[in-house]
């Protein structure tokens, strides 16, 4: 029997968090080997296990996978979270790219200079409420199902819930004008595997704080 996937990354969210989410949603147990110092990262690089000298890296099914998108696509396809045909897959990809763009803005916020943070936070809320969330609200309305694509849970749903919770950390009432997304959040949060991941003590990581920013800057020389 193959061992559990092993995730190599820092002890924070970053680009690995969506991978943790997707594995957890699929009910897959995983191990983590944390990069805590610059030397830890250099060792991985020197050992030749990072294809492009970058993390995230996931050891799974005899592969050492890098590139977040490639890892996520593999997990989604392997665990039947990637639609039933090419058209559904295309819709899932489009929805995921949208949430990735939104989450990217939030991910980089703690690393920005203090004098630009307020402006960028306002931009995140504006984009969420005028560009991204209206798309998903309409998709749920037009589709008339509990999920974004087809009539079953997909990567798109898991990614959207992660994005919603990240935006709510910035502005708790951000879904006030989106009743279908509020209901969606409740439904997807209660799927047993996801509910477990949302409990305290899970492998979900907390929001990035100043202390973690300092650690990341040190490890990656930024």
pLDDT given at position 2: 61
Q: What is the 3-state secondary structure (H, E, C) of 91-148?
A: HHHHHHHHHHHHHHHHHHHHHCCHHHHHHHHHHHHHHHHHHHHHHHHHHHHHHCCCCC
> Using CA atoms, how far apart are residues 53 and 133, in angstroms rounded to an integer?
35
54 domain-assigned: yes
Residues in the chain: 222
Contact 50, 66 (CB under 8 A): yes
222 domain-assigned: no
Same-domain pairing of 58 and 154: no
Residue that has been written with the tokens 């593999």 in this structure: 74
Whether the bond between 128 and the residue before it is cis, its omega within 30 degrees of 0, is no
| Tokens representing residue 10 in the block | 């820092």
Q: How many domains does the chain have?
A: 2
Contact 63, 53 (CB under 8 A): no
Contact 96, 156 (CB under 8 A): yes
Q: Cα dihedral angle (35, 41, 44, 46), rounded to 10 degrees?
A: -160
Mean pLDDT, rounded, for 130-136: 96
Above 80 in pLDDT, residue 38? yes
Note the pLDDT tens digit of each residue in 150-176: 999 999 999 999 999 999 999 999 999
Q: Give percent of the chain above pLDDT 70.
A: 99
Note the pLDDT tens digit of each residue in 182-212: 999 999 999 999 999 999 999 999 999 889 9
98 domain-assigned: yes
pLDDT band at 222 (very low <50, low <70, confident <90, very high): confident
| Tokens representing residue 76 in the block | 């989604």
**Mean residue pLDDT across the chain:** 94
Sheet with 6-9, edge to edge strand ranges = 31-34, 6-9, 57-60, 63-66
Same-domain pairing of 25 and 105: no
Same-domain pairing of 70 and 165: no
Same-domain pairing of 204 and 185: no
Note down the domain range covering 68: 4-77+196-210
pLDDT given at position 125: 95
pLDDT given at position 1: 41
pLDDT given at position 192: 97
pLDDT given at position 221: 83
SS3 at position 175: coil
CATH number at residue 102: 1.20.1050.10
């Amino acid at each position: 029997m193959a061992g559990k996937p092993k995730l190599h990354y820092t002890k924070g969210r970053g680009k690995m968090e969506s991978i943790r989410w997707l594995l957890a949603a699929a009910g897959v147990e995983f191990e983590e080997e944390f990069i805590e110092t610059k030397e830890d990262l250099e060792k991985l690089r020197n050992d030749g296990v990072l294809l492009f000298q970058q993390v995230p890296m996931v050891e799974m099914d005899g592969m050492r996978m890098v590139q977040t998108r490639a890892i996520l696509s593999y997990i989604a396809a392997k665990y039947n979270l990637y639609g039933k045909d090419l058209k559904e897959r295309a819709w899932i990809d489009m929805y995921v790219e949208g949430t990735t763009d939104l989450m990217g803005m939030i991910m980089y916020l703690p690393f920005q200079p203090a004098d630009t943070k307020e402006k960028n936070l306002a931009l995140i809320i504006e984009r969420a409420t005028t560009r991204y969330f209206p798309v998903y609200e309409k998709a749920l309305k037009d589709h008339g199902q509990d999920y974004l694509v087809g009539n079953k849970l997909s990567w798109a749903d898991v990614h959207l819930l992660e994005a919603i919770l990240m935006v709510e950390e910035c502005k708790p009432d951000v879904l006030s004008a989106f009743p279908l997304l509020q209901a969606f959040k409740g439904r997807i949060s209660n799927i047993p595997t996801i509910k477990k991941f949302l409990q305290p003590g899970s492998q979900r990581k907390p929001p990035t704080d100043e202390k973690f920013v300092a650690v990341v800057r040190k490890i990656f020389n930024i």
